[in-house]
Amino acid sequence: MENKNAWYLIEQDGLHRAISNEDFSKLAPDSYVLHQVFATHREALNEMSRLIKLEIQDVKDEVNKMAPPKAN
């Protein structure tokens, strides 16, 4: 089911990347986590942007949990 025009959304060294099929095929096994495969570069970038926003929100939520409660 290989699609040579596909775009791969991966996580590598703590960073998200959207890469082409050609670049993906050059990656060393186990050097990345594959999230999803998209038909176009734009779709892969949109998903990357969405995931980054979610992760920023996760961090905000964690920080807010650690903040002392507001005094009334």
The residues binding another protein (CB under 8 A) are: 1-3, 5-6, 8, 24, 34-39, 43, 50-51, 54
CA distances for 54 relative to 1, 51, 61, angstroms: 30, 5, 10
Shortest separation between residue 66's beta carbon and another protein, angstroms: 20
**Environment class of 4 (CB within 10 Å of its CB; exposed 0-12, middle 13-18, buried 19+):** exposed
CB of 29 to another protein, least distance (A): 11
Q: How far is the CB of 17 from another protein (least distance, A)?
A: 15
